[in-house]
Structure 1
Amino acid sequence: MAKYLFYLPRFHTNVVPWVRLLRQAGHQPAVHVSYEGPTEDRNSLVPVAVAPSSFFKRNEKSPPIDRVPSFRAVWRGMANERPDVVIVRGISRALSRVALICALFQRRRIVIYDQEDVVPERFSTWLRRAVFRSLGIPHITTRLPIGPLKRTFGEAIPVPFANPWVSVSGFRDEYAGVAILMVAKYRRRKGHSALIAALARLKDEFDFRVTLCGEEASPEDVAFCGEICRQSEVLGISDRVVIRNNVPHKDMRHLYVAHDIFILPSLNEPAAVSPIEAAWSGCAVLVSSDTGTRGYVPPGRAFDFDARDPIDVARCLAGAMDSPDSLRRMKDACLNHIRSVADDPLIIDKFEILAGVK
């Protein structure tokens, strides 16, 4: 049995499956955070909120994720948890840096977790990893390699995101066409506009319905959602667009199961979890070629596209909708692929090696 302590500036649902797996394997994980976020899943995990420093209390204009933690709170929290390994999310945020310092002085085993490529293209990432590796501190990344790896001193250990569902329930309704789903916050880089433009090109050739699932947490979100609705009306597909906003995470698996295709035409996406949730739910998953979680989807142009080009997005969608047989093959390929790269025993093995129990 090992004790794992995660330090995350922002609590995100993607850590919950890791915690579940570690508990099932008999380990003791804990999560300490600066900021919890309003829509994350706390049904099976309640993170510990680290108290801010008195300096932060006097400077509350800082974003919550950047709040400076109380050094004493971090030190005592770590000492009380007595972890075998401390996993720090990056080194750019105040909580991560303070946790790293405390772990060094307490002589804990340390791992730095980022969402960069296994073998990074950016020299700054390579250099950071190489420096810490020389100090005996490895990096892990949630990105998976695509193709053969070229070994370098600046590479990270790939540790996949885990299966988010204990079980998948729900059903595909009686809609005769192809049900398409996009799950993303209302941000321009997510690619809503490119998706609507791509679907407009396919409206006369295929029978489909698209569900846009987002988060309306601010007036800007509401305005952007309205903008997308107006675009779909201008392009003549408003009758095929369904808006589902602010869906609780506990209900998301029902939404995935009710759809055939999941698509995320996002630009510069570091590590989207929604394609992983969709693949585990049996969807055919289509993603932009540069997304950080591209490795969780089968290789080949049938499953990816250039998110800057609505014509290429349309090409990828058309391939999936070409026939019921091709759609079924793509669904099976996505589920089989993610089982091969992110199965539970593989992930547990990686974490046990990190903690020194293997």
Structure 2
Amino acid sequence: MYGPVCFLAPAGVDDPQRPSGGNRYDLELMRELGELGYPVKLTPVTGAWPRPSGADGRELSRLLEALPEGSTALWDGLIACGVPDIVQAASRRLRQVVIVHLPLADETGLDPQVARELDQAERHALHAANATVATSRWTAAQLTEHHGLPGVRVHVAPPGVCLAPSAPGTPSGGRHLLSVASLTPRKGHATLFAALGALPRELPWQLKIAGAQPDAAYAAHLHSLIAEAGLTDRVSILGPLAGAELDAAYAWADLLVHSPEKEPWGMVVQEALACGLPVYASDVGGVPEALGHAYFPGETAFERPGRLLPAGDSAAWAEALNEWMCELRLRDRLRTLAEQRQRTLPTWRSTALEVAMALGGFPSTPWHTELEAAPLATS
């Protein structure tokens, strides 16, 4: 039996109306750690993270002070990276591991001064922690190179996936497009709408979008873009989906389209591949890692089970989607590659095992080219 772990996550992490990749990661990780023997207690923390009020910070400090000395605090980085002073103070009593889903300054639309402040706060918080967990090699490289963290203290624990039956899709395999992403500027829906609006009108397709709508004004803006592109009869915004409803959306789809401007991993890419769906996605951040490669049966060259496209380039997206809809052979080949990739996707158990290494004070499983000589933090 291992020592208790206090998992500090933003309040609402388990709210089905606020689904996100980060929330899913936290919940699945907590479940798997429990199965590995770690007594994990989820502690939702209320506050305007990553920029909390003074009252938010004081309440968080009281919560940490109530933990027994020597306890382990596993932080969601959205909280920890905004409160470096609190993390530093707690380091005298607690072992601390921080999960970074997305570097704070990489969020789209931040005021430059705010981005600089968040970046500095993140650097101090991560240096005060005993270990950091990154959800992709891309993120890990960002943290080590930009913040100067020793690679042995940065653990790469990509999200896992639960395999699902292959999506039946449509007989032609090309008409049903699915996007699973919150309606925020970083997810790049505007690029997708511009690309679809440029396609020949005679092409038969439908797009369904599943995702939370945290900003009503921005959601209204996207609706106006759909109307301006003449796509109101083809694009459906469904809101947040989970469980059986989300499973049904994947089963309906022929292709996942994911067009973010920035993305540390892209859990929806893996979820689509777990259903045997090809993926067209932006070539950013950790998305290439999530998409991965596969062998076509009888061949020896690695191929992508989809396409990586320039973020924000609606012309490139339009060209790729036009080819997808017009080339049955291409669709069949990518579908086969997606089904092959399905067999090599990581599991949530592998995610939890790497995080367990961080919790136990072990160096990271080597992911970087040079092992640093710096010792692990012990205080």
Structure 1 171/140 Cα, relative in aligned 2: closer, same or farther at 3 Å?
A: closer
What SS is found at the alignment partner of 2:233? helix
Separation in structure 2 between the aligned mates of residue 255 and residue 83 of structure 1, nearest angstrom: 42
What SS is found at the alignment partner of 1:269? coil
Residue 221 of structure 2 corresponds to residue 252 of structure 1? no
The answer as to whether partners of 2:179 and 2:258 remain within 8 angstroms in 1 is: yes
Separation in structure 1 between the aligned mates of residue 124 and residue 58 of structure 2, nearest angstrom: 27
Separation in structure 2 between the aligned mates of residue 298 and residue 29 of structure 1, nearest angstrom: 31
Separation in structure 2 between the aligned mates of residue 136 and residue 174 of structure 1, nearest angstrom: 49
Query: For residue 247 of structure 1, what is the amino acid of its counterpart?
Result: L
Report the counterpart of residue 140 of structure 1 in structure 2: 133
TM-score of the aligned structures, taking structure 2 as reference length: 0.67
1:73 equivalent among 63, 71, 77: 63
- 1:17 CA displacement: 1.6
Query: For residue 191 of structure 1, what is the amino acid of its counterpart?
Result: G
The answer as to whether partners of 2:32 and 2:348 remain within 8 angstroms in 1 is: yes
- 1:343 CA displacement: 2.7
Report the counterpart of residue 92 of structure 2 in structure 1: 105
2:209 equivalent among 207, 212, 219: 212
| Stretches of structure 2 lacking an aligned partner (at least 5 in a row) | 14-22, 107-115, 294-302, 363-379
**Residue identity (%):** 17
Report the counterpart of residue 226 of structure 2 in structure 1: 229
Query: For residue 6 of structure 1, what is the amino acid of its counterpart?
Result: F
2:284 equivalent among 280, 283, 290: 290
Structure 1 308/281 Cα, relative in aligned 2: closer, same or farther at 3 Å?
A: same
- 1:173 CA displacement: 5.9
Separation in structure 2 between the aligned mates of residue 338 and residue 273 of structure 1, nearest angstrom: 14
Residue 278 of structure 2 corresponds to residue 275 of structure 1? no
The answer as to whether partners of 1:198 and 1:311 remain within 8 angstroms in 2 is: yes
Query: For residue 243 of structure 1, what is the amino acid of its counterpart?
Result: I
Cα deviations by residue, 1:98-153 (Å, 9 ceiling, x for unpaired): 35532x222x3322222368xx9xx99799779966x782322002359x99x976
Separation in structure 1 between the aligned mates of residue 122 and residue 237 of structure 2, nearest angstrom: 42
Query: For residue 319 of structure 2, what is the amino acid of its counterpart?
Result: R
What SS is found at the alignment partner of 1:268? coil
1:158 equivalent among 138, 156, 166: 156
The answer as to whether partners of 2:5 and 2:40 remain within 8 angstroms in 1 is: yes
Report the counterpart of residue 312 of structure 2 in structure 1: 308
Report the counterpart of residue 20 of structure 1 in structure 2: 31
The answer as to whether partners of 2:75 and 2:96 remain within 8 angstroms in 1 is: yes
- 1:206 CA displacement: 4.1
The answer as to whether partners of 2:98 and 2:129 remain within 8 angstroms in 1 is: no
Separation in structure 2 between the aligned mates of residue 136 and residue 222 of structure 1, nearest angstrom: 37
Separation in structure 1 between the aligned mates of residue 341 and residue 315 of structure 2, nearest angstrom: 27
Separation in structure 1 between the aligned mates of residue 268 and residue 179 of structure 2, nearest angstrom: 9
Separation in structure 2 between the aligned mates of residue 335 and residue 89 of structure 1, nearest angstrom: 33
- 1:32 CA displacement: 2.1
Separation in structure 2 between the aligned mates of residue 304 and residue 195 of structure 1, nearest angstrom: 14
Residue 91 of structure 2 corresponds to residue 86 of structure 1? no
What SS is found at the alignment partner of 2:74? strand
Separation in structure 2 between the aligned mates of residue 271 and residue 36 of structure 1, nearest angstrom: 25
Query: For residue 93 of structure 1, what is the amino acid of its counterpart?
Result: G
Separation in structure 2 between the aligned mates of residue 36 and residue 257 of structure 1, nearest angstrom: 37
Separation in structure 2 between the aligned mates of residue 212 and residue 132 of structure 1, nearest angstrom: 35
Separation in structure 1 between the aligned mates of residue 337 and residue 47 of structure 2, nearest angstrom: 35
Structure 1 337/238 Cα, relative in aligned 2: closer, same or farther at 3 Å?
A: same
- 1:277 CA displacement: 2.5
Structure 1 270/170 Cα, relative in aligned 2: closer, same or farther at 3 Å?
A: closer
Residue 202 of structure 2 corresponds to residue 202 of structure 1? no
TM-score of the aligned structures, taking structure 1 as reference length: 0.71
Structure 1 113/178 Cα, relative in aligned 2: closer, same or farther at 3 Å?
A: same
Report the counterpart of residue 63 of structure 1 in structure 2: none
Separation in structure 1 between the aligned mates of residue 348 and residue 242 of structure 2, nearest angstrom: 25
| Stretches of structure 1 lacking an aligned partner (at least 5 in a row) | 38-51, 57-65
The answer as to whether partners of 2:77 and 2:101 remain within 8 angstroms in 1 is: no
Higher RCO by CA contacts (8 Å cutoff, separation 6 or greater): 2
Separation in structure 2 between the aligned mates of residue 290 and residue 353 of structure 1, nearest angstrom: 28
Pairs aligned (count): 318
- 1:215 CA displacement: 3.1
The answer as to whether partners of 1:84 and 1:109 remain within 8 angstroms in 2 is: yes
Q: Over aligned residues, Cα RMSD in angstroms?
A: 4.1
Separation in structure 2 between the aligned mates of residue 188 and residue 26 of structure 1, nearest angstrom: 40
1:356 equivalent among 357, 360, 371: 360
Structure 1 127/316 Cα, relative in aligned 2: closer, same or farther at 3 Å?
A: farther
- 1:230 CA displacement: 0.6
Deviates more, 1:336-345 or 1:14-23: 336-345
Structure 1 216/7 Cα, relative in aligned 2: closer, same or farther at 3 Å?
A: closer
Structure 1 274/202 Cα, relative in aligned 2: closer, same or farther at 3 Å?
A: same
Report the counterpart of residue 168 of structure 1 in structure 2: 164
The answer as to whether partners of 1:260 and 1:283 remain within 8 angstroms in 2 is: yes
Query: For residue 95 of structure 2, what is the amino acid of its counterpart?
Result: R
